[in-house]
Amino acid sequence: MVPPLVLDIDGTLTDAAGQLDPRVFDVLPSWDAPVVLATGKAFPYPVSLCHYIGLPETVVAENGGVVLVDDEVTYAGDREAAQAAADEFVARGGDLGWGGADTVNRWRETEIAVNLDADEPLLREVAAEYDLEVIDTGYAYHLKSPGVEKAVGLKHVCDFLDYEPTDFVAVGDSENDASTFRVVGESYAVANADAVAKDAAGEVLDQSYMDGTLSVLQSL
């Protein structure tokens, strides 16, 4: 028997260049327990990844803002407030940093992501004025409602799948994985993880990116 998994994507199922590691196609389709993809990316990205890997579409997207399980989608967070704060940020001279098409936010339903080159102090100042928070995932700043976390999304998944969060093994690399690490049975931060994730994880791996994730999956 193998345990159910909750896996981050960027920095965890990718390589150092940010590309999806092809070894996910070797190990995840045959995993004989639920696999939850939990990410800060907009909702369509993990759904598409499930499709191409061949996994049931069970995802926690937008840092817990959107959850899909058992063909039901639920939402948390105030997208309108996040958009208003983003507009104010831009009005004060900030730049979201994604260009005109902004495919990073085009399909985002509960939060706004801002490029790491943006004016972070200004962004945090505006967020506070709108009672929002900013988390740094290492790939973007996420402007979101307080209390929206991957761990909350995982608990919702568990209600449908008849598991407890403590049944899960989690692997991740970022601040937004810390809440998940605190509720699962086993948690691993890959070597490239940030300090918040490492502090929250049950174990910090010696290997980075998919190499670290694969070492956990092989041991299980």
* Catalytic choice (8, 173, 177, 194): 8
At how many degrees (to 10) do helices 120-129 and 79-91 cross? 130
- Read off the tokens for 169: 């093994």
142: region left, alpha or beta (phi > 0 left; psi from -120 to 50 alpha): beta
Length of the chain: 220
Contact 82, 55 (CB under 8 A): no
SS (H, E, C) 74-142: EECCCHHHHHHHHHHHHHCCCCCCCCCCCCCCCCCCCCEEECCCCCHHHHHHHHHHCCCEEEECCCCEE
**Alpha-carbon radius of gyration of the chain:** 17
Can 8 be counted among the known catalytic residues? yes
Catalytically annotated residues: 8
